[in-house]
Amino acid sequence: MKPCFRMVKLVTGLMVVLLAPSAWAQSSSFTVVAGGLNGPRGLKFGPDGALYVAEAGSGGGTLSSSSSCEQVPSPVGPYHGGLTARVSRISAGGQRTTVVDGLPSAKSSLPSGDTVGAADLAFIGDNLYVLVAGGGCSHGNPAKPNGVIQVDVEHGTWSYIADLSAFQAANPAANPEPSVDDREPDGTWYGMVAVGGNLYATEPNHQEIDRISPTSGKINRVVDVSPTSNTWIGPTGITYHGNFFFGSLAPFPINPGSANVFKLTPSGNFKVWDAGFTTVVGLAFDHRDRLYVLELSDAPGFPSPGAGKLVRVSPSGQVEDILTGLVVPTAMTIGPDGAIYISNFGAAPPGLGQIIRVKITD
């Protein structure tokens, strides 16, 4: 079975409601800095020192099949689209305020209510950019495609700088998600990072990483991951540390240790940098060149609540667990204080999402 990230979330969405936030264990010092979020995904610290969080939202009332376009196959499709995704700002004291709302969001037809919306964000100087994954006709938002938007933080308004739905339609990957019943016409965009004045975004369903110019809106494919192997990769979390590094989920049922971290040059050459991980959804390097890897679920079979974890890889290759017992975590970032901030209950029903702070000791 070769699921895209969407399929992962469908499974976890069914199970996450079985575990209350107070039930998960840990192996490191952490605190909950914010709660009550609606599907927290990518998160970054802004130039003002506050934490900004992309939230998937709760979909809406517009059935994607009411429009004439290629649909996501049943039972996942049709999607229920709406404008319920948002970006939140979390102050140092943990207070949440809305930076921008009314962003495209889409909820699947499955009982789990799997939702895609605002997937990630990045700052270039004072400018905030958001990766939209809940847009497009196949998600019930025909007038709002998947893409990258720029947000006017002061006024809470936004506008498109790039249409990723149109780009994928005009530039199909060589061998996208091989299972026909798992195709997402508008993609399931996941991670984004700003490097050298450009934005780089991952898309696991079609299996690609693209570069977006925030000034011209031009989109270029950095790498098409799909033709390289018979094994589904599906790039998710991405970071930059001299070169790009991205993680993969690997096929389901989960075989612990079967996922990889890949090193990617700006010219598009990539190779396995480190192996032996499980369902990788986030990556970050600290000031000592240690790599932190966020895993959705480390249990065999299918994703299990409480099986997510954070691991650390030293420059010498030593791997150690930093935090265990996470519940469908979806993204992380390192703060200016050196702590790790994680979107926990990220693929859960609206209102359950948390941001936790993990204190790192050297």
Residue 300 lies in a domain: no
CB atoms within 10 A of CB 271: 10
Whole-number Å distance between alpha carbons of 126 and 264:
27
For the domain that residue 214 is a member of, what is the CATH number?
Answer: 2.120.10.30
Structural domain count of the chain: 1
Q: pTM for the full model? A: 0.93
Q: Residue type for 294, please?
A: L
Residue 306 lies in a domain: no
Residue 78 lies in a domain: yes
Residue 307 lies in a domain: no
Whole-number Å distance between alpha carbons of 180 and 261:
26
Segment holding 263, helix H or strand E:
strand 259-264
Residue 339 lies in a domain: yes
Residue 129 lies in a domain: yes
Torsion sign across C-alpha atoms 56, 358, 273, 193: positive
Residue 103 lies in a domain: yes
Residue 301 lies in a domain: no
pLDDT (tens digit per residue) in 305-344: 899 999 999 999 999 999 999 999 999 999 999 999 999 9
Domain that holds residue 339: 5-293+315-358
CA Rg value for the chain: 18
pLDDT (tens digit per residue) in 232-263: 788 999 999 999 999 998 777 888 888 999 99
Contact 208, 223 (CB under 8 A): yes
Residue 9 has pLDDT above 60, yes or no: no
